A and B are shown apart, each in its own frame.
Chain A
Amino acid sequence: MNFDKEYFNLGVLDTLSYKNTLVHRLDPRTKVITTFAFIVTVVSFPKYEIAGLIPFLLFPVVIFALGDIPVWFILKKVLVVSVFAVFIGILNPLFDTHIKYHFLTFPVSGGWVSFFSILLKFFLTMCSALLLISTTSFPGICHALRKLGVPEIFISQLLFLYRYIFVLMEETLRMVRAKDLRSFGKKGQGISIFINLVGTLFVKTIERAERIYHAMLSRGFTGTIHFVLKEGFGKKDFVFMSVTGITLFIFRAYDIVGLIGRLAERMFN
């Protein structure tokens, strides 16, 4: 069932983010900033670019290896995520039919070239988002965002939401299980049952929120959430950031793949 799996995946990512490796020990700000820089660089390539994107595979591979992240788990997630980009991209070959390249005498139309470019970008950007969350704990990311100037209320909202996702998902899981046990075949799949489920869940949620609020008040809550995080921006962060920055620039500015290809061709001839 879909629901169980999503819930399980969330837990796995959370566990992964608390590993202790070189990448995990970096300051969350470093990882948030470099991930954004990476995504913007990848996306900035024009639509017919394929070769220029290939070297960027280096980043996910290095993070996978350094961070000791299970490759198949992340790849599976990338494959099943929302396929909007693929769905829109696959229409490119229909609309853009002029011949762009000849690949060993096979004509390749511009539409296919731009479609593969979209696929590559899709893969790289999805990987980087998932790698960010599997190498950085969620409170760590919130901390980084707060330090980078995101409003306080939004940060508390994120932290609360994250804490109670697991609680409410378990609640929902129990309700769904109870519904499934009472319905057979197609029964109980319709919209009216769904509305009742959601409504009940909402009422339960409000009651829970009130209890939580009282509990927090009695423990001295004044409106802000405090962090206890030991990481600081250190030498390793500086090194990581500058190496990433320089590499991104080189990969963006120079045609590495073409260079290697031409050198190889020369060697073979």
Chain B
Amino acid sequence: MSVAIDTGLGLTVRGLTALFNTPRGMALAVADVDLDVAPGEMVGLVGESGSGKSVTLRSIMGLIQTPGHVTGKVEWGGRDLVAMPAEELRRIRGSEIAMIFQEPMTALNPVLPVGLQLEENLVAHTRLNARERRARALQLMNTVGIPAAERRLNEYPHQFSGGMRQRAMIAIALACSPKLLLADEPTTALDVTIQDQILKLLLDLRDRLAMSVVLVTHDLGVIAGTCDRMAVMYAGRIVEMGTVIDVFRQPRHPYTRGLLGSVPRAGAVRTMLSSIEGTPPSLTDLPAGCAFHPRCSFATDICRQERPPLLSLGNDRKAACFHHDRVAAAEAIL
């Protein structure tokens, strides 16, 4: 990792589980997730809809409400965020740990000027006076690259374009110089050229402010272009983990392999994509054994009976597959 490790904070998640009581039964949205984020590191969480990546992020931030129930440990600076009283958590949320969401139009308050929403954060977490807050707000707008900051602070979210709204949301998240930024599909609603701008902004900010970032996305290309390490989720569990370079070079879980093969790449025009047959399972009715076995071409009897544990394969690499050797040895899809 290119970023110097300071003595700052790291995030350690152990056995994070989120259960939702739904009319169709208990849904296991996140199951037994272990995740480490080092200071200054950018970690990608990738998966398809319903894989539990967003719920993981929200569970870390303590945003899951009934009928959801979160257990496990989220350690941050020696404290456990899951067990922490709400009052204390509120002091950390928005200051040490900040979050940005996919849809800035719903995450921003439509009836308050952007500047006021920015200052709200400063009022809650700092002792700056009104003039200092204004100055800080202006500074933040410049940091995230919003032109004409003075005027734009007085404008409302609807007067911002999609890309500018996302920038404004990042400015709010950065208000108290967080040490960890949780980004939930921050560029999914944006056009590619704007997505490119926002991702590069996030990378710059990560370097300049030495913060850690957890980036949730469904787009493997976004991970490839930004993250240091990645975790692939399927049906609520992490099925593969490692540095981005390693995972892309040699996937060790059939699902990761399938995902990589599903994305069209340059130089293979009009060839069949190596798609994954079938659809992801319902979280209230997971198949026995490995949740991926009905869609897996590597599956054998053991996969139908037993759930493969997430095994450490050395070199910071983990995979939850009985046949990870066969997957790794399989013909390259790249």
The answer to whether A and B interact is: no
Measuring CB to CB, which residues of chain A are less than 8 angstroms from any residue of chain B? none
